[in-house]
Amino acid sequence: MDLNRGIAPVKKEHIIDKRRGKEGEKAVSDDETNETKEEPPRKKGRITRVRGKKDKMVVENTRLCLKTSMGLVCETESCKFDHDLDAYLETKEKDLGDKCVNFENFGKCRFGYKCRFLNAHLSSDGKLIVNEDRVSLINAINTEEKNIINMETQKKLRKNVYQFPKSDAYMVEIEREVSRQLEMERKNKLEKLQSNQSEKDNQNVSEVIDIEVQPNISSQTIKDESEETKFDIESDRKENVESTITDSVTVNNFTTSTTSTTSNNLLDADIEASVHTPDIPLRSCEKKKISFKDKLYLAPLTTVGNLPFRRICKEFGADITCGEMAMATNILQGQQSEWALLKRHVSEDIFGVQICGCKVQHLVKCAELLNNEIEVDFVDVNLGCPIDIVFNKGAGTALLKHDGKLGKIFRGMDKVMDFPVTVKLRTGIQDEVPLAHKLIPKFENWGVAMATLHGRSRQQRYTKLANWDYISNVSNKVKEMPFFGNGDVLGYTDYYKHLENHNVDGIMIARGALIKPWIFDEIKSKRHYDISSKERFEILEKFCNYGLEHWGSDSIGVNKTRRFLCEWFGFLHRYIPVGLLEVLPQRINDRPPSFRGRDDLETLMASPNSNDWIKLSEMLLGPAPDNFIFVPKHKSNSYEG
C-alpha cells in the first residue's frame, strides 16, 4: 500500500478519493472545514487561536429560586431570584427525555422543576416524586462525590483568615536558612577582601621603604590613601552584599530586611508559628504508602480529564486516576471552579490531584490545605505544562530551570502533608537543552515519592515522537524512587515494548486514553479490540449520564455535558477501527486519510467537523439550543513534524 509517511495505513476499499468521490458519499478527512472559508495554512510549530468565537454559557431566561425549584417555600426576604413557579413552567423549554439519571440513581433529582427530564419525577398533580427507599439506601452506602469544599472553609479562604501553621513555620525556617547562608557568604567575601587588602598594604609598605629617597611622598600620605581605599572598597562591598541578600530573598518570595526591626519581627513570627504548629511532623516511613509499580496510570488531562471521563476509564481497568491541573493560587482563594477540579468519585480507589504554581509559599500552603480538607492519596506537581499563560508566570515547565526553588517546594510539601508528593515533568524547555536528567536524581532527596517523565520538551509540544531513549537514560540514574514514562502509547504493543525495553516502573497514559478509553482493557487482556460503532455509542451514552450526574440535569448542566462531550470528540474522532487498518497497531501521530466506516455511525464518529460532533451530541442529549456555539479548545498540532 503506497501511502505517504505519517498517513495511517487504512485498507484501500475504505479510502475515498476526494477527486472521484461518488455523489452523496460522505468522506472523512482532516481537510474538512466547519462551513467556513478556508483558512491560510498555519506556520509549523505555532498554535493559532480562533478569534471572535467563544463558547457561550447557556442560561435560562428565568432564574428560579433554588428552594422554589424543589417545591419549598423561600423565606428569605432579600432573595433576588424568581418565585413564580407557574410562570416558570410555562416558559420552560421542552423536556429532553422521559428518563432522569439523577432520580433513578439517587431517588430524587436535586434540580427539581428545573430538570430537563422533569416528567420522570413529576406526579399527576404536579408534585415532585421522591423515592424514599432509594434515598435511604444511597445515604447509607455514601455514593456521592467527595472533596466538595464546605462553605465555612471557602469563607475563610476568601477572607484570607485560614490558618496555615505548618506552612508558616516552614517558611520562617526557610527564611532563616536563606539569611544564614547569605550572611555566611557575605562574611567569606569580606574576609577574602580584607586578606587581599592586607597583602596590598604590605606591598605598599615595601614600596615606601624602597622609595624613601623620594622626599615628595610621605609615609603618612601613603597610609591615608591606603585607609581611604580600604574604606571605599569595604563600603561598596557592603552595599553589594546587602543588595544580594535582598534580591535573593525577593527571588525566593520572602521579605527580608537588614534592619533590627525585621529581625524582631522574624523572632515574633517564629514564636507565633511554633505556638500554632502541631507536634513533630510525620516521618517518611510513617506517611501513607502507595504501590505505583506496574499500575495503569491515567494522566491528569486538562479539560477532557474530567470526573465523568475518569469514571469511564476506571470501568475499563485504569488503576490510578488524577484530577485535572488546578492552579494553587485559585485554590487558596477558594474559587469554586478550581475546587470543582478536585472532586473524586467513590470508584476512584487510588486518586490524586495535580496542582500548578510558581511560588514556594503558594504550593506549600496549598498542600497543607489539601491535606486538611480533601480526601486524596497523593498530590502531583505539574512541571510539564507548556502553554504560554502558565509558562510566562513561571509555572509548569518554567520551574525546570529553578532547581533551588524546586527543592524548597518539594521539601515543604513533604513536611506539611500526610500523603506522598509526586511530580510530572517534560525533558526540558528546549529540544537541545534537556534538564530532566539533572533534576530527577535530586527528587529522591527532596521527598518526592514518584516521578513521571514525558519524553518531549516544551518547545516540542506534541509534535514528533516522544524520546523514549532519553527516558531510559534518565531511569538509570534513579535509585529507589518509582519512575514512570509517558508518550505515544496507543495500544498494548506500545505499552509492553516500552515497559520491557526502557527500564521504567510503569507508564502513564494520556492521549491514548482520550482517543480510545478501552486501551486499559486492551493492555490487561493483550489484544487489539475491534470495537463496533454501537459499543462506542454506548460509551458516549454512559459519559452523558455521568455528566448529568456531575454537572446537573438542568439547562446549564445539560449544555456543560454537551460541551465537554464535544471537547472529547476532538480526540475520539482520531480513532481508526481495527478492522479498517491494513497494518496494526494504529500509531498516535499518523493522520487518517479520507475514509468511510463500516456503517454510517462509524463514519460520523470519525468526522473532524465540529458540526458533526454537535449532531452526535443531539442524538444523546436532544436538540442543542439555537445559541449554542462550540469551538474546540484543544486544536492539536500533533500531526505536524
Integer Cα distance of 311 and 514 in angstroms: 13
Joined grid coordinates for residue 497: 515494548
Rounded CA separation 175/566 (Å): 48
What residues have CB less than 8 Å from 294, skipping those under 6 apart?
505, 506
| Backbone dihedral angles phi then psi of residue 378, each to the nearest 5 degrees | -165, 160
Cell of residue 556, nine digits: 446549564
Query: How many other C-beta atoms are found inside a 10 Å radius of the C-beta of residue 395?
Result: 25
Q: In residues, how long is the chain?
A: 641
State which H helix or E strand residue 330 sits in: helix 328-332
Question: Using CA atoms in the order 467, 491, 524, 300, what is the torsion angle rounded to 10 degrees?
Answer: 60
The strand ranges marked E within 357-464 are 378-383, 421-426, 428-430, 433-434, 448-454
- How far is residue 500 from each of residues 317, 337, 353, 477, 497, measured CA to CA in Å? 21, 41, 29, 17, 5
Query: Smallest Cα–Cα separation from 357: which of 348, 369, 343?
Result: 369
**DSSP summary character for residue 459:** T
Query: Does a cis peptide bond (omega within 30 degrees of 0) precede residue 585?
Result: yes
CA distance 461 to 13: 35
Q: CB 53: neighbour CB atoms within 10 A?
A: 12
The position carrying cell 474538512 is 32
Give me the residues paired with residue 137 across strands: none
Q: Which residue has the cell 492552579?
A: 327
Q: Which residues contact 367 (CB under 8 A, 6 or more apart)?
A: 167, 355, 379, 412, 413, 416, 417, 421
To 10 degrees, what angle do helices 260-276 and 165-210 make?
150
Closest CA to 110 of 138, 82, 150: 138
- Backbone phi, then psi, for 305, in 5-degree steps? -90, 40
CB of 563 within 8 A of CB of 583?
no
Element (H, E) at 408: helix 403-416
> Residue 194 burial by CB count (10 A; 0-12/13-18/19+): exposed, middle or buried?
middle
The number of C-alpha atoms within 13 Å of 592 and in the hemisphere containing its C-beta is 30
Annotated catalytic residue, options 115, 358, 366, 385 = 385
Catalytic status, residue 322: no
280 φ, ψ (degrees, to nearest 5): -50, 135
Specify whether the backbone of 24 is left (phi greater than 0), alpha (psi in -120 to 50) or beta. Answer: left
Nearest to 565 by CA among 602, 513, 519, 613: 613
What is the distance between the alpha carbons of residues 559 and 621, in angstroms, rounded to a whole number?
9
Give me 156's grid cell.
Answer: 475563610
Q: What CA–CA distance (Å, rounded) separates 185 from 188?
A: 5
Q: Which residues are catalytic, by number?
A: 385
